[in-house]
Amino acid sequence: MPAESSSIARPSLIVADQWKDYQLLDAGHGMKHERWGPYTLVRPDPQIIWPRSGGATKWEKWDGFYHRADTGGGKWEYRRELPDHWKISYGALTFKIHPTSFKHTGLFPEQAVNWDWFSAKIRAAKAAGRDVNVLNLFGYTGAATCAAAKAGASVTHIDAAEGMVKWCKENAALSGLTDAPIRYLTDDCLKFVRREIKRGKKYDAIIMDPPTYGRGSTGEMWKLEDHLWELLGECKQVLTDRPLFFLINAYTARLSPTVVANLLSALMHDAGGTITAGEVGLPIQRDGKTLPCGIYGRWEA
């Protein structure tokens, strides 16, 4: 008898409001003012098109300010000497923070809501006596990899950038996961999955955070709209007969949560389960607004 089709819940917003070492202090006029542990940074964000509360246009207190250049890119201005990198923690996880030339810090704090979600699913499966093998594609600096490993999963971490894979190893060490069953691989995600199909390798869960545009480890061009469904189809073939979850994150404004839900519905139509989709966001401390920071789609058994 065929499995029932997956049910789809209405898109919703989930907010990462359990942080202690991170705060989104304020946002307005295209900029966000954040506390990363002992340091405060001001960075641009294209979604922030509303004015600051109270009408002020500049923040007076900050340690680092990223100035966007009219010709693209930008640079940091520092009011005091900051270390090259420092640490912040989320529960039992510890991450290296390093302001990069592209305005990023190496961590997306809004993703904590997804770490909590899949960590609970992994722990429940482990408590029921099941081993869990997770594939993390486009794994970046490995926050999700560390969260899954800390919950008890074996994790294969894939990213095309060697520097990001190295950063993941550092985060794992900081989180006490040096000896955890994590495979660190610098590779093109699609090519890797195709090789895993040939090898007969199977995974209980998949996490992916595909970019809008990108290049593989040997220069292959990636475009989300053209290649995501192809990748998803290959990923379906490396899932076990009893998959636990499938998580897609995206930061492009070109996709809506409903599109991601529809993709997962088409992909997992014969597996039953439940699909939820929506936005992830951060609470703005000054005025109680929420900054939307991307979209997610989750399939779970």
**Residue 299 CA to its chain's centroid (Å):** 16
Contacts of 96 (CB under 8 A, 6+ apart): 85, 86, 87, 106, 141, 167, 170, 171, 174
pLDDT digits (tens, 9 = 90+) for 83-97: 999 999 999 999 999
pLDDT of 213 reads: 77
Question: In the chain, what are the helix, strand and coil shares in percent, each to the nearest 5?
Answer: 25, 35, 40
pLDDT of 166 reads: 98
Q: Measured between alpha carbons, how far is residue 244 from residues 98, 119, 120, 150 in Å?
A: 33, 11, 11, 17
Architecture, CATH, for domain 22-97? Sandwich (2.60)
pLDDT of 218 reads: 64
pLDDT of 286 reads: 93
pLDDT of 8 reads: 84
- The angle at the Cα of 143, spanning 75 to 297, to the nearest 5 degrees, equals 100
| 154 backbone dihedrals φ, ψ, rounded to 5° | -85, 135
Q: According to DSSP H, which parts of the chain are helical? A: 112-127, 143-150, 162-174, 189-199, 224-236, 257-267
pLDDT digits (tens, 9 = 90+) for 141-158: 999 999 999 999 999 999
Of residues 257, 215, 297, 287, the one with CA closest to residue 32: 287
pLDDT of 195 reads: 98
Give yes or no for residue 70 having a pLDDT over 90: no
Give yes or no for residue 18 having a pLDDT over 60: yes
Distance CA 279, CA 82 (A): 33
**Can you spell out the DSSP letters for 241-255?**
SS--EEEEEE--TT-
Give yes or no for residue 209 having a pLDDT over 60: yes
CB 109 within 8 Å of CB 41: no
For the chain, give the mean pLDDT.
93
For CATH 2.60.40.1180, list the domain ranges present in the chain. Answer: 22-97
Q: Measured between alpha carbons, how far is residue 4 from residues 128, 238, 247, 271 in Å?
A: 24, 21, 20, 7
> 7-14+108-300: which CATH number, 3.40.50.300, 3.40.50.150, 3.40.50.2000, 1.10.240.10?
3.40.50.150
pLDDT digits (tens, 9 = 90+) for 214-256: 765 566 676 788 889 999 999 999 999 999 999 999 987 678 9
pLDDT of 5 reads: 73
Give yes or no for residue 1 having a pLDDT over 50: no
Distance CA 248, CA 250 (A): 7
